[in-house]
Amino acid sequence: MATIKDVAKAAQVSVGTVSRYLNGEQLKQRNQEAIEQAIMQLGYEANAIARSMKTGKSMAIGVIVPFLANMFSMRVIESIEQELQKYNYCVIITDCSGDKEKELERIEFLKGRQVDGIVLMPSGFQSFELRKAVGDTPLVLIDRILEKPVFDSVVADNEGMTYESVCRLLETGIRKIGIIEGPNYISTARQRREGYIRALKAFGIKEKYRAVCKEYSFKEGYEGMKRLEQYQLEAVFASNYELSAGAVNANDREDIRILGFDTFEIPVRFQENYTGIRQPVEELGRLAAKLLVERMNQPDKEISNMVIG
C-alpha cells in the first residue's frame, strides 16, 4: 500500500508539500500536478476511499507536530505511518509552528476531515483545554505530556537519560558545565533540566551557568551558546535537537564538550567533542500508533502512559 512518503518520492517533493496538498492548501502548479500524477499512479487516494466505503470509517489518522521541517518530527511521523499501515490507515500530517492557537485550528481541521483519531505532540495545552478541543476524537500524546494524565501518552525517559549522560560526562573530570534549555511550558524541557540538576547534585556541583531559550529552535540554540561563551565552560548540555544543532554551529572552540539531545549531522571538526543522547524515536512513533489503534477499538480502556528509554 502506498504511503505519503511514496507519493512525495514519486512527485519529487517533500512530505510536507504532499501533506499541504492533501490539506487543501494552494501549491505551485508544477508541484500540484506532480503530486496528482503520483497519487494516480500509486493509487494512494483511491485506496483510502475504498477502505472508507467498506468500513464506514475515514480510515485516516491525523498527526500534529510543532514543526515539519525537523528531523525528529519526520522520523517520528515515518514510524507512525509505518505502524498504521499494518491496520490500513492513511495519515494526514500537519504542523502548527509551535503555536497553541494554530494547534487548535489544526485539531478542528482534522476533526472536519473526520479522522478516526489523532496523534499529537502538544505545544503547551492545559489538559482541560485539550479535552474540550478534541471532544470524543481518540487522541494519543507523543514525546510531550500535560500536567494531568487524561490522555494516553508515550514519551522518552527524558530525565533518566539526561541524568545518566551528564553523569558520564562528569565522570571524565569535567566540572564547569552549563545548560542550554528549552521553555518551561514544554514537558521535555522540564524533565531534561531535572535530570541535569540531579546529575550535578550527585557530584556536589551547584548549577551556575544557564541559557534559557524561548523555544526549541536552531536560532535559540545558537544564541544560547553565544551567551555562555563568557564563562569559558568545559562543557555544555543542549537539551533538544534544534538547540544542539544551534550550539554546535555557534561554537568556536575545539576544547569544549557538547552534550546534545539526539544525534544529527555535525561539522567534522566537532565530531570528536560532541555526544548525542539517542532517543528511541522509532519506538515512540510505533507505540503511539499502537496506543491510538487500541484506544479507537476500546474507547473505555484504562489510560496508558508509557515511558521508554
pLDDT digits (tens, 9 = 90+) for 157-175: 999 999 999 999 999 999 9
CA 278 to chain centre: 13
Q: What are phi and psi of 227, to 5 degrees?
A: -65, -30
What does the mean pLDDT of the chain come to? 89
Place 94 in a pLDDT band, splitting at 50, 70 and 90: very high
E strand or H helix at 80 = helix 71-85
At residue 54, the pLDDT reads: 52
At residue 47, the pLDDT reads: 54
Per DSSP, the three-state class of 115 is coil
Residues in CB range of 170: below 8 A, 6 or more apart: 177, 199, 200, 202, 203, 205
Residues in CB range of 216: below 8 A, 6 or more apart: 66, 98, 182, 183, 186, 189, 240, 241, 242, 243
Domains detected in the chain: 4-156+281-308 (3.40.50.2300), 158-277 (3.40.50.2300)
Say how far apart CA 150 and CA 51 lie, in whole Å. 31
| Strands in 76-182 per DSSP E | 90-95, 117-120, 139-142, 152-156, 177-181
pTM of this structure:
0.79
Place 266 in a pLDDT band, splitting at 50, 70 and 90: low
